[in-house]
Structure 1
Amino acid sequence: MAEISASIVKELRERTGAGMMDCKKALVETGGDYEKATDWLRAKGLAAAAKKASRTAAEGLVGVAGSGTRAAVVEINSETDFVAKNEQFQAFVAGVSQVALNVGDDRDTILSAAFPGGGGSVQDVLTHNIATIGEQQAYRRAAIVEVSEGAVASYIHNAAAPDMGKIGVLVGLQSSADASALVELGRGIAMHIAAMNPLSLTADDADPAQLERERAIAEEKAKAQGKPADITAKMVDGAVRKYAIENSLMGQVYVRDGKAKVSEFVAAEAKRLGADIKVTKFVRFQLGEGIEKAESDFAAEVAAAAGV
């Protein structure tokens, strides 16, 4: 077998944009022939996938899987909303959701796990999809919600297909109450979370960094009123506490009731069902949140393509 030098691997990587290990494998498979290795990468879709990797993928789908006491939610991104309607892409989202349900939310574990139905690992199928669909796609994140007894309910907002859409929510309810009743309650709470986007489960769980930012804002407002220092301190503490409560799930007014807080509604349901109910955790994934989308200038793109 021909010796595969580091320099030729590097050169092939720069030419094709494929990964270092894929380039080395291509050279091994083709006996060190540079041109054949390039064609090998193109045939496998690896060069195309790598070249598309620089594009922003902020569309796609959020998918959920699971029932009973454990569920998973994942986000898979694409460049355009059009791909989110592609059956091949939707099948991938469904498969990755199931993988996450089985193996957990660790990124590397998910990408290296066998994809349901064959085709290699999740990463292998993702690379294949990029090449065949013709757009950059990316696995972004996953989360698991689990209870020892009770139910984990899910809700998908703006569903594009069963169990996948633009917003996915999971809610864990720890209880010995009837499972079907818990799922119904949990789904209602999940719909509330999708609409109101609480930042924490309770006021005491609020992010300290966010509270410090709110404190700084409240202090500036209080100073502008010229109140005595002791009054100002109480005003600031009150404003920060109000912010923490209003942005916590249990402190918000339940949207489907319009009167009681979520905590009060859950307590009333627990009394009705004859068993304690504790909301243990929730996860809300909104498609593309936090991804900075590149703003494109169509005229400039055309000019660049034309070499103007």
Structure 2
Amino acid sequence: MITAQMVKELREKTGAGMMDCKKALTECDGDMAKSIDWLREKGIAKAAKKSDRIAAEGLTRVAVEGNTGIVFEVNSETDFVAKNEQFLALLDTVRDVLLTEKPADLDAALACTVNGETVADIITTATATIGEKITLRRFAVVEKADDEFFGAYMHMGGKISALVVLKGKEDAKVAKDIAMQVASMNPQYVSRNDMPAEVVEHERKVQTEIVKNDEKLASKPEKVLAGIIEGKVSKNLKDSCLVEQEFFLNPDQKVGQYLKESGVEVPSFVRYAVGEGIEKREDNFAEEVMSQAFGK
């Protein structure tokens, strides 16, 4: 009889998925050593060896269903995996789980089950069969009100995904335009009102020091200097705010103007770019291949 404890032990030893471990134990009549060999022969046990690798490539996805919108990122080690059918199928699975289950955090998402198998197990199996470390890195579940609407855009097949919540006169073109703006211009906040006070204060201190060290400005009155500093602060922070950015379809117009003319405002947005914030390891690919081939 194959017990849950036996499956757990084999998983810990091989890094293989729950269903694969159960199948291995069944095939090998519960013999642990033979089960490990069975998984190795099938190429499944190698998943555990990938755990210390850096996964900074992959794809993002954005999807909308009713009043729910999601954005998520699944990472791999190389860009080649983005074309792998199993990897793309995994993205579809994660999308469906997030839309249906709306998990609160990453642990909850990984614990969600699909046909009796957890998302964590599905990812482990994909890691083993594809041959690269694969991780569900992050996701956002966004709920909108009935009087709001979504704008969604995916750039370069999923290298960047943006989800925008808009309020006002519903317009599909405006929704897509603003989602494209967020994807391409990478604002950090909707407006200065959403910007943390410490961010503004930090920029003010930087600009104050710059002005102090400018001999041409040193003789100007305090009030004039204060105005110059605030002007510099606004100029440097405007690109961080969506409504103050130049509209990508018309650089002579601010996004805020475009929104006002369209009778729309933006309560919030989410933007994910693949690998942002991950420190990528610079490897010599040729050396790595030689090392794997000849065990150097």
TM-score of the two chains, using structure 2 as the length reference: 0.81
Q: Structure 1, residues 103-132: CA drift from partner, whole Å, max 9, x if none?
A: 3351111111123xx361211111111111
Partner of 2:213: 224
Q: Is the 8 A contact 2:187 2:242 kept in 1?
A: yes
Shift of 1:208: 4.0
The runs of 5 or more residues in structure 2 that have no matched partner are 2-8
The runs of 5 or more residues in structure 1 that have no matched partner are 2-8, 160-164, 271-276
Shift of 1:77: 0.5
- 1:249 pairs with 217, 242, 246, which one? 242
Distance 1:193 1:302, change over 3 A: closer
**1:1-308 equivalent positions in 2, closer than 5 A:** 16=13, 18=15, 35-36=33-34, 38-39=36-37, 42=40, 47-104=45-102, 106-115=105-114, 118=115, 120-148=117-145, 149-159=147-157, 165-175=158-168, 177=169, 179=170, 181=171, 183-226=172-215, 227=218, 230=222, 231-270=224-263, 277-298=264-285, 300-301=287-288, 304-305=291-292, 306=294
Q: Structure 1, residues 199-232: CA drift from partner, whole Å, max 9, x if none?
A: 1111121244443442343122111114258244
Distance 1:33 1:213, change over 3 A: farther
Q: Is the 8 A contact 1:145 1:152 kept in 2?
A: no
DSSP 3-state at the match of 1:136:
coil
**Paired amino acid for 2:268:** K
More displaced, 36-45 or 277-286? 36-45
Sequence identity (%): 39
DSSP 3-state at the match of 1:225:
coil
Shift of 1:307: 5.8
Q: Is the 8 A contact 1:145 1:282 kept in 2?
A: no
TM-score of the two chains, using structure 1 as the length reference: 0.78
Q: Structure 1, residues 256-300: CA drift from partner, whole Å, max 9, x if none?
A: 122222121111111xxxxxx331111110011111111012465
Superposed CA RMSD: 3.3
**Paired amino acid for 2:166:** L
**Paired amino acid for 2:234:** R
Q: What number of residue pairs does the alignment pair up?
A: 280
More displaced, 149-158 or 102-111? 102-111
**Paired amino acid for 1:301:** E
Partner of 1:273: none
Report the Cα distance in structure 2 between the residues aligned to 1:32 and 1:120, rounded to whole angstroms. 20
Report the Cα distance in structure 1 between the residues aligned to 2:60 and 2:87, rounded to whole angstroms. 12
DSSP 3-state at the match of 2:231:
helix
Report the Cα distance in structure 2 between the residues aligned to 1:83 and 1:307, rounded to whole angstroms. 25
Q: Is the 8 A contact 1:223 1:232 kept in 2?
A: no
Report the Cα distance in structure 2 between the residues aligned to 1:101 and 1:239, rounded to whole angstroms. 43
